[in-house]
């Protein structure tokens, strides 16, 4: 019998399988990240469990996080089933999570008045509301119909006051502090040389100190008012506890939420995660500084890597005499892409931070020494280090796109009396821009996700301020910054409360991927626009 | 090759009293020119004189060196690594290899039209004035005049005047080639080189380009490389036949087509090889 099979047909299946497995793995990865990340924001019900252990009753309340089997010492046999419960009230229990044996549960209820209180410190508190104590008023019992509305008003009030304190401290007090600091440097410089100037400066510092004292007293006053009101809650199976309203961020009646209420709470949590600063060793609050730091660093890196990579590629392809030397250079550039990123980090620390930054400090910021300005890790050095790391990608992509510019286009330009540079500038580069952008997209994807070198050249766990803000000179390139990749590492491996940090790791990972995708999408849209404009179909 | 021909003995050339051949120095003159790509010699001891304001056609089979010689008139071959030449090419009495003259200024005097039309992905307007722009001309009024002049000279004005700001890539194939001619004319060169300008065009577009060539020779010296015998016959004043890197015969077109001296020329023209 003759075979009806076409030669090579199995290769189609084999190559399709390769793609299929790849897609499957990407989809699985995204699913794990999204499913685990979304969990953080979805409001869960609060359940009250009554356990009987050795005849003694114990009450534990909290959100059911997961169900699992205990590890068993006997092989092939599963251990007893247990629940992981988020109990909150870390200030009472010393931890936020507990495991309970399912077999020990004798009663399980879902009280409708269970209240979840999000606090600035010690994480969430869970319990039954008892009363609200407002200064100068009679306490309002939780059964009073006024209780909820007054609680809501009190929260709005304290959060407004919190914003006012922050504005006062960051804005006015910060400005005075900065001026005093710069005047002190000035004083150091003129000391013993210009008596009049010295005297005037001292006077000015004293004046500033006075207004600082006034503002500081005002802030202290506001802060004291924050503790005037309290809400009293009773954790299930425990004693009443008083929570100062000043520490309350929000409250949720978790067991009363309808589906829309849950969706609303989900959106609210997601939004505050995006726009807030982190609290409690990064395990609470949001990731905004990390998102912003990653974004600014990636943009700075692109601004450094694109011109550098493009001019290098132009020289290699258009001007350099092709021969063994240029070939060797090309191989070296390609190999640069394979150097471990930590090596670039060490180089960045040694060259950019210590040599370049140190020289800048001794030339321009010598009055602040020994406090370093540029001679320490910062967002500029981090961006330049990553630019160095990703420059091979841009060089290779640019060279290839320059080589793909049709010869006829170049000859047409040269034949009209254009010089080589005019031809590159007017014909070659416009046609090569889509390819250059492809290189930039690859470089951004690699740079934005990099962590190891950044730890050496400027990333920190918690940065006090953003690299770009409203304070003159607006761009603080010397500043240390937060980065999503490092944030993931910090949450996952350096956090004091690993259980609380675990879902945050997934959520942060999700936003890192989303940020890289958004940046790439921007570059892709730009590339498509240019491609349409310089359609080269006619060559 | 053996060809049963009745014109085995080349008849002696009847001298043309008005157009002396191979004697008076032409506008472009090639003298004992040898050319190598690396170790591969593509032109052997070529000498010819190209007169001013006439059309000279280069014919011959593929790889005979006619395009190589054409591309040496504006030193386009300088772009290729490992080229070498001996002998000289002069233009109006001056060598084109003068180290004191920049190659860009030579190319402004010697324009070129390529086999495949290669308009830039810019507007029609910008295409025509590309050469002026790179030459540093930026006055809008001057450029407007140059565009109209260039497009009129290339017989494209009527078709393109209402769409000057549209992409040049929206034109048809024949229009694109005429745009490339307009682009070359706009620089106001003295010589226009055409490297098989009609090989990618249909007969109607070809006819238009041929008419244009006859028009152009009133102002410019035109050198055209072609594979199309009829085209050489229709629009050139003189024809040079190349074979394997050598100039076999060079004479007035009438003579070459009616009374060639060399048998190879006759065989090629009559289609026996090539």
- Which pLDDT tens digit goes with each residue over A492-530? 888 877 787 888 899 999 999 999 999 889 888 988 888
Q: Which residues of B touch A (CB under 8 A)?
A: 74, 76, 79, 81, 104-105, 107-108, 111-112, 114, 116-121, 130-131, 134-135, 167, 169, 176, 180, 183-184, 187
The mean of the pLDDT values for chain A is: 87
Cβ-based contacts under 8 A for chains A and B: 77
Quick one: what percent of chain A has pLDDT higher than 70?
97
Average pLDDT in the A250-255 region? 88
What are the residues of chain A with a beta carbon less than 8 Å away from any beta carbon of chain B?
Answer: 321-322, 406, 408-409, 411-419, 422, 426-427, 430-431, 533-539
Contact between chains at A418 and B81 (C-beta distance less than 8 A): no
Report whether B103 contacts B75 (CB < 8 A): yes
Distance from CA of B79 to the nearest CA of A (A): 9
Could you tell me which of B69, B13, B15, B10 has the C-alpha nearest to residue B37? Answer: B69
List, for residues B130-152, the tens digit of each pLDDT value.
999 998 888 889 999 999 999 98
Angstroms from A419 CA to nearest CA on chain B: 6
Highest mean pLDDT: which of A47-61, A243-257, A291-305, B192-206? A291-305
pLDDT < 50 positions in chain B: 1-23
Q: What is the reported pLDDT for B274?
A: 55
**Would the pLDDT of A313 be above 80?**
yes
> d(Cα B32, Cα B86) in Å, to the nearest integer?
8
Do residues A393 and A441 touch, judged by C-beta distance below 8 A?
no
Three-class secondary structure assignment of A371-393 = CCCCCCCCHHHHHHHHHHHHHHH
B188: left (phi over 0), alpha (psi -120 to 50) or beta: left
Structure-token pair, residue A468: 């770009």
Query: How far apart (Å, rounded) are the C-alpha atoms in residues B214 and B210?
Result: 7
CATH 3.40.50.2300 is right for the domain spanning B28-96+104-269: no
pLDDT at position B8:
41
Cβ contacts of B184 on chain A, cutoff 8 Å: 415-416
**Among A256, A242, A227, residue whose Cα is nearest residue A154:** A227
Q: Which residues pair with B238 in a beta bridge?
A: B56, B252
Q: What is the CA radius of gyration of chain A?
A: 31
Confidence band, pLDDT 50/70/90 cuts, at residue A3: low
Query: Per residue in A426-447, pLDDT tens?
Result: 999 988 998 999 999 999 988 8
Please check whether residue A316 is in contact with residue A329, taking contact to mean a CB–CB distance below 8 angstroms: yes
Beta bridge partners of residue B58, listed in sequence order: B225, B240
Q: Is the pLDDT of residue A251 over 80?
A: yes
Q: Is the pLDDT of residue A7 over 80?
A: no
Domains of chain B, residue spans: 28-96+104-269
Pairing label, strands B55-59, B221-225: parallel
Which residues fall within 8 angstroms of residue A207, CB to CB, at 6 or more apart?
Answer: none
Q: Dmax of chain B from CA atoms?
A: 65
In Å, how far is B23's CA from the nearest CA of chain A? 30
Contact at CB, A413 and B121, closer than 8 angstroms: no
Model pLDDT, residue B20: 41
DSSP string covering A414-436: HHTT--HHHHIIIIIHHHHHHHH
Q: Which positions ≥6 away from A332 have C-beta within 8 Å?
A: none
pLDDT computed for residue A389 by the predictor: 93
**Mean pLDDT, residues A92-117 taken together:** 88
CA distance B74 to B103: 8
Q: Mean pLDDT across the stretch A161-167? A: 88
Which two tokens mark A387? 């630019």
Pairing of strands A105-109, A46-53: antiparallel
Asked whether B191 and B221 are in contact (CB, 8 A), the reply is yes
Q: Is A61 helix (H, G, I), strand (E, B) or coil?
A: strand
Q: Which residues of A touch B183 (CB under 8 A)?
A: 412, 416
According to DSSP, residue A319 is labeled: I
pLDDT single digits (tens) A281-302: 777 888 999 999 999 999 999 9
Confidence check: pLDDT of A377 > 90 = no
Please answer yes or no on whether B114 and A418 come within 8 Å at the CB atom: no
Alpha helix stretches (DSSP H) within B74-221: 103-109, 124-128, 130-134, 140-153, 157-160, 173-186, 203-216
Q: Is the peptide bond prior to A281 cis by the omega test (within 30 degrees of 0)? A: no
Average pLDDT over residues A378-399: 93
pLDDT of A478 above 70: yes
Q: Yes or no: say if B67 and B52 are a contact pair by the CB < 8 Å rule.
A: no
Residue A301 to chain B, least CA–CA distance (Å): 31
Tell me, what's the pLDDT at A4? 65
């Amino acid at each position: 019998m003759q075979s009806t099979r076409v030669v090579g047909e199995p290769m189609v299946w084999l190559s399709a399988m390769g793609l299929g497995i790849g897609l499957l793995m990407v989809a699985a990865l995204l699913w794990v990240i999204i499913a685990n990340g979304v969990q953080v924001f979805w409001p869960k019900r609060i359940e009250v469990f009554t356990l009987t252990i050795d005849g003694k009753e114990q009450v534990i309340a909290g959100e059911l996080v997961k169900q699992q089997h205990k590890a068993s010492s006997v092989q092939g046999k599963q251990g007893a089933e247990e629940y992981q419960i988020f109990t909150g009230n870390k200030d009472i229990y010393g931890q936020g999570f507990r495991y309970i044996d399912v077999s020990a549960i004798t009663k399980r209820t879902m009280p409708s008045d269970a209240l979840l209180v999000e606090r600035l410190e010690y994480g969430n508190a869970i319990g039954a509301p008892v009363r609200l104590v407002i200064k100068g008023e009679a306490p309002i019992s939780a059964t009073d119909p006024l209780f909820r509305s007054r609680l809501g008003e009190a929260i709005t009030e304290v959060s407004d006051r919190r914003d006012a304190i922050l504005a006062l401290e960051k804005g006015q007090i910060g400005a005075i502090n900065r001026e005093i600091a710069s005047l002190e440097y000035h004083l150091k410089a003129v000391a013993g040389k210009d008596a009049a100037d010295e005297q005037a400066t001292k006077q000015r510092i004293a004046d500033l100190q006075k207004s600082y004292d006034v503002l500081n007293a005002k802030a202290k006053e506001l802060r004291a008012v924050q503790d005037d009101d309290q809400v009293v809650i009773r954790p299930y199976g425990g004693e009443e506890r008083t929570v100062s309203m000043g520490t309350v961020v929000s409250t949720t009646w978790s067991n009363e939420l309808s589906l829309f209420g849950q969706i609303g709470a989900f959106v609210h949590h997601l939004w505050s995660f995006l726009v807030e600063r982190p609290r409690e060793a990064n395990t609470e609050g949001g990731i905004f500084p990390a998102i912003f730091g990653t974004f600014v660093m990636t943009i700075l890196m692109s601004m450094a890597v694109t011109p550098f990579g493009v001019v290098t590629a132009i020289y290699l392809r258009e001007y350099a005499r092709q021969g063994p030397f240029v070939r060797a250079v090309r191989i070296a550039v390609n190999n640069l892409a394979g150097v471990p990123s930590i090596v670039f980090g060490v180089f960045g620390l040694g060259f950019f931070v210590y040599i370049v930054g140190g020289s800048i400090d001794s030339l321009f910021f010598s009055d602040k020494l020994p406090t370093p300005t540029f001679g320490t890790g910062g967002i500029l050095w981090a961006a330049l280090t990553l630019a160095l790391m990703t420059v091979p990608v841009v060089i290779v992509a640019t060279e290839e796109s320059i080589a793909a510019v049709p010869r006829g286009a170049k000859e047409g330009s040269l034949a009209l009396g254009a010089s080589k540079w005019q031809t590159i500038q007017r014909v070659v580069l416009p046609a090569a821009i889509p390819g250059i952008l492809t290189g930039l997209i690859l470089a951004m994807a690699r740079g934005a996700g990099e962590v190891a070198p950044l730890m050496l050249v400027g990333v920190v766990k918690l940065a006090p301020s953003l690299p770009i803000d409203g304070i003159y000179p607006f761009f603080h390139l010397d500043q240390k910054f937060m980065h999503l990749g490092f944030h993931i590492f910090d949450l996952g491996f350096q956090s004091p409360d690993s259980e609380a940090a675990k879902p945050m790791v997934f959520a942060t990972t999700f936003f890192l991927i989303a940020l890289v995708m958004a940046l790439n999408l921007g570059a892709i849209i730009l590339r498509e626009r240019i491609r349409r404009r310089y359609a080269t179909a006619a060559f | 090759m053996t060809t049963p021909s009745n014109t085995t003995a080349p008849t002696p050339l009847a001298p043309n009293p008005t157009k002396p051949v191979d004697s008076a120095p032409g506008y472009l003159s090639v003298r004992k020119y040898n050319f190598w790509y690396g170790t591969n010699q593509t032109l052997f001891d070529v000498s010819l004189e190209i007169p001013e304001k006439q059309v000279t056609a280069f014919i011959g089979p593929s790889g005979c060196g006619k395009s190589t010689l054409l591309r040496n008139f504006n030193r386009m071959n300088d772009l290729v690594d490992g080229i070498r030449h001996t002998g000289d090419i002069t233009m109006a009495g001056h060598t084109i290899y003068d180290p004191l003259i920049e190659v860009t200024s030579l190319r402004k005097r010697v324009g070129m039209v390529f086999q495949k039309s290669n308009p830039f992905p810019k507007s029609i307007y910008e295409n025509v004035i590309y050469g002026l722009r790179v030459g540093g001309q930026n006055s809008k009024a001057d450029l407007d005049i140059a565009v109209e002049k260039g497009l009129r000279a290339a017989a494209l004005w009527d078709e393109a005047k209402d769409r000057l700001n549209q992409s040049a890539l929206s034109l048809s194939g024949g229009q694109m080639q005429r745009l490339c001619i307009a682009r070359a004319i706009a620089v106001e060169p003295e010589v226009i080189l055409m490297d098989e300008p009609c090989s990618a065009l249909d007969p109607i577009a070809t006819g238009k380009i041929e008419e244009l060539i006859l028009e152009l020779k009133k102002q410019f010296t035109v050198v055209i490389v072609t594979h199309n015998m009829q085209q050489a016959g229709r629009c050139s004043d003189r024809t040079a036949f190349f074979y394997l890197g050598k100039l076999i015969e060079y004479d007035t077109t009438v003579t070459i087509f009616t009374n060639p001296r060399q048998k190879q020329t006759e065989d090629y023209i009559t289609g026996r090889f090539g």
